[in-house]
A and B are shown apart, each in its own frame.
Chain A
Amino acid sequence: DVKVTQSSRYLVKRTGEKVFLECVQDMDHENMFWYRQDPGLGLRLIYFSYDVKMKEKGDIPEGYSVSREKKERFSLILESASTNQTSMYLCASSLETPVGHLHFGNGTRLTVT
């Protein structure tokens, strides 16, 4: 069974800190995604990657960057955390379409104070 592991379940950071959210998948999936989830807004795509060292902006990339140096690992970076980045962050992976579906990690609840 596919396992997507997010390194932290809960995280509290201060405004202005640089924050790293790590995600690892164990099924050799090509695609990896970072979403944020906020009440009433559903899931919004921040960045995705379809190959090592490849990245594409999603719907809300401002204030974030990503890194994919190895196929199994996809990191989300908040360069200078702000309070409006307090959210639930979900990592997912998938095989190439059309048959691939998203496999999610359990999420990281980030609070920026």
Chain B
Amino acid sequence: SFELTQPPSVSASPGQTARITCSGDALSNQYAYWYQQKPGQAPVLVIYKDSERPPGIPERYSGSTSGTTVTLTISGVQAEDEADYYCQSADSSGTYVFGTGTTVTVL
């Protein structure tokens, strides 16, 4: 199976931009998805198919891709954005893999 690598932590002050990267060879030809998880809660999908935003997700969340790296950007970070974030993708056989996870801290 393949691997997806994320930085363990990212921090930003309120109003600044937080960027979380996710790297893996499979990302060059497979979509990436991003999930937000707050303590004691189930994950929430915030970006699908690299850059699409589900209904109800604030516009400050955006996704982009370049080669084997995808990036989740939170523009104008707010205190409520403090959470763990996971990328996820799948290979052509339908095997899913999650990234290692990134904790976003709002300073």
**Do these two chains really belong together in a complex?**
no
